[in-house]
Chain A
Amino acid sequence: KQEVTQIPAALSVPEGENLVLNCSFTDSAIYNLQWFRQDPGKGLTSLLLIQSSQREQTSGRLNASLDKSSGRSTLYIAASQPGDSATYLCAVKGEGGSEKLVFGKGTKLTVNP
């Protein structure tokens, strides 16, 4: 059974720092991996989607990498801003047409001005 872990559960950094959020999964037979952002009391917003054949995806100040063989993904945020404060979740989809998404519990990021 696929398990997704995100460590640390919470992270606090000063504005301007570059930071890395981690996501690990136990079964490397994945179809894709998706990073989400969730603001308090709000829904999840998709940030980046990495297919199993890809190594990384970039969007603005965000860069997500995927290492299937080691069961790891990282989300790199450059030049962090207070507006980046949110909970970041990763989710993996297993191989096969009907495999569901398995979510990590998220990392709560606080960027201090």
Chain B
Amino acid sequence: EAQVTQNPRYLITVTGKKLTVTCSQNMNHEYMSWYRQDPGLGLRQIYYSMNVEVTDKGDVPEGYKVSRKEKRNFPLILESPSPNQTSLYFCASSLGLSETGELFFGEGSRLTVL
């Protein structure tokens, strides 16, 4: 089944404790992206990747890192999480942003930073 898989789905952590949210897609998509969704603010893009070893900042990259060493994986790294990073995070992928392909989303990862 074609899908975008995120882990963990739910996580409670404390300020400053490094964490990684993994994202994997099995559709051989070139484009991958991370979003955060907050009440009243909608979906905001954190980072995106057009292909392996190519990443770029989105609208709200501060406090986050990403890597794209393999085509299928695009982990989101919070080196020193803070309470303002409490949010619902989504990973998404598509064939290529320059293509007409639609965007596929993971189920989301709800992160709480205490």
* A and B interact physically: yes
Inter-chain contact B102/A44, CB cutoff 8 Å: no
Contacts of A99 on B, CB cut-off 8 Å? 97
Q: How many A-B residue pairs have CB under 8 A?
A: 50
Flag B1-33 by CB within 8 Å of A: 1 or 0 each: 000100000000000000000000000000001
Q: Which residue of B lies closest to A100 (CB)?
A: B45
Bound-state Cα–Cα, A99 to B100, Å: 12
Contacts of B40 on A, CB cut-off 8 Å? 105
Partner of B107, one of A32, A34, A43: A43
Contacts of A100 on B, CB cut-off 8 Å? 33, 45, 48, 58, 97
Q: Is the interface of A mostly helix, strand, loop or mixed?
A: strand
Interface residue A101 (Cβ < 8 Å from any Cβ of B): yes
Shortest beta-carbon distance from B53 to chain A in Å? 16
Shortest beta-carbon distance from B37 to chain A in Å? 9
Interface residue B74 (Cβ < 8 Å from any Cβ of A): no
Q: Which residue of A lies closest to B99 (CB)?
A: A97
Shortest beta-carbon distance from B49 to chain A in Å? 11
Inter-chain contact A97/B97, CB cutoff 8 Å: yes
Interface residue A69 (Cβ < 8 Å from any Cβ of B): no
Contacts of A98 on B, CB cut-off 8 Å? 50, 97-98
Inter-chain contact A43/B106, CB cutoff 8 Å: yes
Partner of A89, one of B43, B48, B97: B43
Flag A30-41 by CB within 8 Å of B: 1 or 0 each: 001010100001
Partner of A44, one of B41, B58, B90, B100: B90
Contacts of A49 on B, CB cut-off 8 Å? 100, 102
Q: Which 7 A-B pairs give the minimum distances between C-beta atoms?
A: A97-B98, A105-B42, A43-B105, A44-B105, A103-B43, A46-B102, A43-B107
**B residues engaging A (CB < 8 A)?**
4, 33, 40-43, 45, 48, 50, 58, 88, 90, 92, 97-98, 100, 102-108, 110
**A residues engaging B (CB < 8 A)?**
32, 34, 36, 41-46, 49, 51, 89, 91, 93, 97-101, 103-106
